[in-house]
Amino acid sequence: MSPQELHPLDILLNPRSVAVVGASTSDQETGWVARLRNFGYTGKIYPVNPKATEVYGLKAYASLRDIPDPVDYVIFNIPRRLVPRIMEDCVAKGVKLAHVFTAGFSEIGDEEGLKLEQQMTAIAKAGGVRVLGPNCMGIYYPKAGLTFNPDFPKKAGQVAFVSQSGAEAMRFVFLGHSVGIHFSKVISYGNAVDLDAPELLEYLTNDDETEAVACYIEGVKDGPRFVRAVRTCLRKKPLVILKAGLTESGAGAAASHTASLAGSKATWEAFFKQTKAIPAITMDDVADVIQAVVRMRRPRGRRVALVGRGGGIGVIAADICERAGLKVPPFHPETREKLSRIIPEAGAGVRNPVETTLGLGGAADFYERGLGIVDTDPETDLILVHMAVDVYGGHQVDLHERVAYAADVLADKAKSLTKPLAVALYTGGYLDTITAVLKARDRLTKAGIPVYPGVEAASRAISKLITYEEVARKYSLAK
Amino acid sequence: MSPQELHPLDILLNPRSVAVVGASTSDQETGWVARLRNFGYTGKIYPVNPKATEVYGLKAYASLRDIPDPVDYVIFNIPRRLVPRIMEDCVAKGVKLAHVFTAGFSEIGDEEGLKLEQQMTAIAKAGGVRVLGPNCMGIYYPKAGLTFNPDFPKKAGQVAFVSQSGAEAMRFVFLGHSVGIHFSKVISYGNAVDLDAPELLEYLTNDDETEAVACYIEGVKDGPRFVRAVRTCLRKKPLVILKAGLTESGAGAAASHTASLAGSKATWEAFFKQTKAIPAITMDDVADVIQAVVRMRRPRGRRVALVGRGGGIGVIAADICERAGLKVPPFHPETREKLSRIIPEAGAGVRNPVETTLGLGGAADFYERGLGIVDTDPETDLILVHMAVDVYGGHQVDLHERVAYAADVLADKAKSLTKPLAVALYTGGYLDTITAVLKARDRLTKAGIPVYPGVEAASRAISKLITYEEVARKYSLAK
């Protein structure tokens, strides 16, 4: 494929060379040049700074125009007043894509910022330069060695994230990483004067490296194109959208963040209803659904088998499941009969929820002997195990060993289950219980099991996964 | 006051002597006798076990009837089949209150369990013995040295918790303790064959040691009395109720946990609507509201000033606040003008949400200089500070020092604020950020500031507090 045939985003994501205009001489260790070099970017890097001869070991140029070779991609790290002039340089140089990291444009609402944004946009458009931003972090694409944060994992994964907020992009990458979810590409696109959510979604829909897409969106300029892009994406892969600024309070905040017209609540509610994009309210929601989407086998229905220690917490969990659109029906009498044979404790429930025996060590015993019984129950479609590690308040003798043992046995037993499995770990507020839970979470997520901080998060995510599957089936039938 | 004039619950909570029937000789270190002795109970303790001469250093008796002195309070730690016989001993001995820890009665639904429960109840009723339970943990009353868990704090506080679930009682005490909330009394009452939520509530309403009451309830036998007790309580103090088993799934689970008739969803919805008791879905909800109730100054209205780092997270937070029934209106132009003078960053919002400057260290700077400005804004009623510590993914240099510094400055600044303040700390999923956040949480809660794991929890709790205050005003006007 010749360069002419590449999608503009292919260049954005695979630039042969990157120039950093405003390459910092004072923050060389943490600046854009260092980021690219240290993260494994193998293309050419050109620092541009009229006051420097070298930045982070690379020859610096006074201007973009002085660079002897072609430049695909330019990062703007300069005061806003210089942005239009540098955009002119980009046009002159034949740059393909400008990532304008600089902030202070339409989002702050002053006359100067608005004028500069319009100038920059007009110059780029007339000159054939595509723009990412302004007021954005840019690209994290581990496969190509591109990142906007030096601490992001170098390991690539199958989830793409398109975010109008740079900080939310950072939070999401770390949230994902902490539960073992990795990314194909993450694109922070800010004020979206050119590249906007619809085009980014269209690209990711056809991107073989991406199996699931998440979006943080404050506003969209081309509504109809966005709706088409969302529908097309959902035919191919799961798409979770956090639309921020849905309320009056949030819409006002969005205006001063990325200058977005947040749109009316009614419009967006209709959007979600029509497209069936998976909705989310917080970044935790997004991460929770993504875990289910990436890790969980597809349940045949909404009937949950709840397994865990504690009667009251089981009742609360059953309520939460039903509020999330799931059901916790009684097990088949035969299942109950089998369970009561292996649970010797008086008062322990076998109806569903089923109580694991004797705390955490006993839970391991139940996982070994009882989960197989639950797995064959004809009245339930999936298994949700909850562990109230917090009930011991950090005082349980051998807490860490017991939790680790329970997680080990559960992870091992999971391999032989035919029903989809998810796990909710209640940490409580003590460092000791939290530490034990984080270790158990790592053990379980490494075994490919989705892990949640409680039944509330788990049941919401599972319910959304099931709804998505129902929608995907309909979309596929309508094709 | 002579013993005859005491409320039965006064005896339950201040027994002059306690007998443990079925005092274990094998688990002496962790048994009921050790629990009472080690927790500071100063009354007489009589172990009862026909096979022992001594338990945990105390003379053991073969039977209750052999104890030479009066016994106020008996803990049943015996197999269910023996319970009616021991209840007869209680009657013969003139025991005031029987705490039946033993489980395996109506909650498991077998004929034998139902029969034994009926027998026990009839014997106690005819003989004038009040019963707590069966199938319950009993009493945690630090002031009198009573506990059912040796790891509970000995420090007393001002919150009472009445719980039909023993494990939820444990979870709640630890949840509370982890954010510095302590308890006047906690009563786990299980199947409630005699002492039930209404009577317990009536007592706590008039209890001077209790400033706020929380309940975990699966079912109530005397509905009208419960409604009256709830209304009376709400006239005097905040009351949070987690009614478990509100859904079909949960109601089924409740039946096999404490044999409760959970009641219809419609009935309970009407109950909450009529009584205005503060509703909760999870124990975390309960703890969140209790923190607001105990710690927060009462806001004059629902208008929130949101303060924190990050544009996107501010938009999300504003949406969350409005969904919870609060508002995030724009600051007064004068406030914005003052804020923009101290925030030099391009693109940082001053409209509300207001962005603190330059991450965590800069946040401290904003707390010192900016919170005073926010505090004088006439368009907002309370301040909600959020810190996205997770945005650094545990990689921030000097993370712990920076977070600790920010918390220190905030705790200090809080003293001079006239508006109510709450703080939301986002931990993310890394041990390092969590550890830093837990330390900051301790610093802030020790300064009397309510701290939440996110804006979702904070705004829900604050909104419920405000609703309660509105209700309390109405109740007080109606008096």
- What is the Cβ-side half-sphere exposure of residue A95, based on CA atoms within 13 angstroms? 33
Question: Over the range B304-321, which residues count as b (16 or more CB within 10 Å of their CB) and which as e?
Answer: bbbbbbbbbbbbbbbbbb
CA distance B309 to chain A (A): 9
**How far does Cα B134 stand from its chain's mean position?**
22
CA distance B69 to chain A (A): 33
CB pair distance less than 8 Å for B312 and A244: yes
CB pair distance less than 8 Å for A254 and B438: no
Contacts of B244 in chain A (CB under 8 A): 312, 315-316, 319
**Three-state secondary structure string covering chain A:** CCHHHCCHHHHHHCCCEEEEECCCCCCCCCCHHHHHHHHCCCCEEEEECCCCCEECCEECECCHHHCCCCCCEEEECCCHHHHHHHHHHHHHHCCCEEEECCCCCCCCCCHHHHHHHHHHHHHHHHHCCEEECCCCCEEEEHHHCECCCCCCCCCEEEEEEEECCHHHHHHHHHHHHHCCCCEEEEEECCCCCCCCHHHHHHHHHCCCCCCEEEEEECCCCCHHHHHHHHHHHHHHCCEEEEECCCCHHHHHHHHHHHCCCCCCHHHHHHHHHHHCCEEECCHHHHHHHHHHHHHCCCCCCCEEEEEECCHHHHHHHHHHHHHCCCECCCCCHHHHHHHHHHCCCCCCCCCCCEECCCHHHHHHHHHHHCHHHHHHCCCCCEEEEEEEHHHHCCCCCCHHHHHHHHHHHHHHHHCCCCCCEEEEEECCCCHHHHHHHHHHHHHHHHCCCCEECCHHHHHHHHHHHHHHHHHHHHHHHHC
Chain A residue at shortest CA distance from B397: A151
CB pair distance less than 8 Å for B281 and A218: no
CB pair distance less than 8 Å for B314 and A253: yes
On whether the CB atoms of residues B245 and B260 are closer than 8 A, the answer is yes
- pLDDT at position B256, please? 72
Topology of domain B304-470, CATH: Rossmann fold (3.40.50)
CA distance A413 to chain B (A): 25
Write out pLDDT tens, residues A94-128.
999 999 999 989 887 789 999 999 999 999 999 99
Cα separation, B473 vs B479, in Å, equals 10
Contacts of B80 in chain A (CB under 8 A): 346
Contacts of B434 in chain A (CB under 8 A): 431, 434, 438
- pLDDT at position A216, please? 97
CB pair distance less than 8 Å for A435 and B431: yes
Write out pLDDT tens, residues A306-362.
999 888 999 999 999 999 999 999 999 999 999 989 887 666 788 999 988 766 667
Is residue A7 scored above 80 in pLDDT? Answer: no
Angle between helices B111-127 and B83-93 (to 10 degrees): 0
Q: Best of A38, A249, A358 to disrupt the B interface by mutation (most B CBs within 10 Å)?
A: A249
What does the pLDDT average to over A37-58? 95
Q: Best of B315, B340, B435 to disrupt the A interface by mutation (most A CBs within 10 Å)?
A: B315
On whether the CB atoms of residues A188 and A163 are closer than 8 A, the answer is yes
CB pair distance less than 8 Å for B327 and A244: no
The listed CATH number (1.20.120.420, 3.90.1720.10, 3.40.50.720, 3.40.1110.10) that belongs to domain B3-132: 3.40.50.720
CB pair distance less than 8 Å for B174 and A353: no
CA distance B132 to chain A (A): 17
User: Nearest Cβ partner of A322 from B179, B248, B434?
Assistant: B248
On whether the CB atoms of residues B367 and B322 are closer than 8 A, the answer is no
- pLDDT at position B289, please? 97
CB pair distance less than 8 Å for B284 and A454: yes
Q: Best of B81, B319, B431 to disrupt the A interface by mutation (most A CBs within 10 Å)?
A: B319
CA distance B2 to chain A (A): 38
- What is the Cβ-side half-sphere exposure of residue B319, based on CA atoms within 13 angstroms? 23
CA distance B264 to chain A (A): 13
Question: Over the range B366-384, which residues count as b (16 or more CB within 10 Å of their CB) and which as e?
Answer: bbebbbebbbebebbbbbb
Q: Best of A316, A335, A430, A462 to disrupt the B interface by mutation (most B CBs within 10 Å)?
A: A316
Q: Best of A149, A241, A256 to disrupt the B interface by mutation (most B CBs within 10 Å)?
A: A256
Residue A446 burial class via C-beta count within 10 angstroms: exposed 0-12, middle 13-18, buried 19 and up: exposed
CA distance A2 to chain B (A): 38
Contacts of B390 in chain A (CB under 8 A): 171, 174-175
Pinpoint the residues of chain A covered by CATH 3.40.50.261: 138-295, 304-470
CB pair distance less than 8 Å for A174 and B315: no
Q: What angle do CA B463, B465, B467 make, to 5 degrees?
A: 70
CB pair distance less than 8 Å for B312 and A163: yes
Chain A residue at shortest CA distance from B265: A319
| pLDDT one digit per residue (tens) for chain B, 479 residues | 444 456 778 878 999 999 999 998 888 888 999 999 999 999 999 999 999 999 999 999 999 999 999 999 999 999 999 999 999 999 999 999 999 999 989 887 789 999 999 999 999 999 999 999 999 999 999 999 999 999 999 999 999 999 999 999 999 999 999 999 999 999 999 999 999 999 999 999 999 999 999 999 998 989 999 999 999 999 999 999 999 999 888 888 887 777 766 678 888 989 999 999 999 999 999 999 999 999 999 999 999 999 998 889 999 999 999 999 999 999 999 999 999 898 876 667 889 999 887 666 678 889 999 999 999 999 999 999 999 888 877 677 788 999 999 999 999 999 999 999 999 999 888 898 999 999 999 999 999 999 999 999 999 999 999 999 998 888 776 65
- pLDDT at position A317, please? 96
Considering only CA atoms, give the Rg of chain B: 26
CB pair distance less than 8 Å for B319 and A244: yes
CB pair distance less than 8 Å for A248 and B163: no
Is residue A262 scored above 70 in pLDDT? Answer: no
User: Nearest Cβ partner of B247 from A245, A247, A322?
Assistant: A322
Quick one: which H or E segment has residue B267?
helix B265-275
CA distance A321 to chain B (A): 8
User: Nearest Cβ partner of B174 from A113, A250, A428?
Assistant: A428
CB pair distance less than 8 Å for A170 and B80: no
Contacts of A165 in chain B (CB under 8 A): 310-313, 315
Is residue A253 scored above 90 in pLDDT? Answer: no
Among B197, B220, B200, B219, which residue's Cα sits nearest to residue B210? B200
User: Nearest Cβ partner of A429 from B80, B179, B310?
Assistant: B179
Contacts of B178 in chain A (CB under 8 A): 393, 428-430
Task: Kindly give, in sequence order, each residue whose CB lies less than 8 Å from that of residue B105, ignoring residues fewer than 6 positions away.
Answer: A347, B80, B113, B114, B116, B117, B120, B134, B135, B191, B259
Helix, strand, coil share of chain B (percent; to 5)? 45, 15, 35
Contacts of A311 in chain B (CB under 8 A): 107, 165, 167, 253, 256-258
CA distance A168 to chain B (A): 6
Contacts of B352 in chain A (CB under 8 A): 252-253
User: Nearest Cβ partner of B328 from A246, A249, A454?
Assistant: A249
Contacts of B216 in chain A (CB under 8 A): 312
* Residue A293 identity: V
Chain B residue at shortest CA distance from A107: B347
- pLDDT at position A393, please? 72
Least confident of A7-16, A201-210, B34-43, B427-436: A7-16
Interface A:B, Cβ pairs < 8 A: 286
CB pair distance less than 8 Å for B312 and A218: yes
Pinpoint the residues of chain A covered by CATH 3.40.50.720: 3-132
CATH number of B138-295: 3.40.50.261
- pLDDT at position B347, please? 63
CB pair distance less than 8 Å for A312 and B216: yes
Write out pLDDT tens, residues A265-282.
888 989 999 999 999 999
- What is the Cβ-side half-sphere exposure of residue A53, based on CA atoms within 13 angstroms? 0
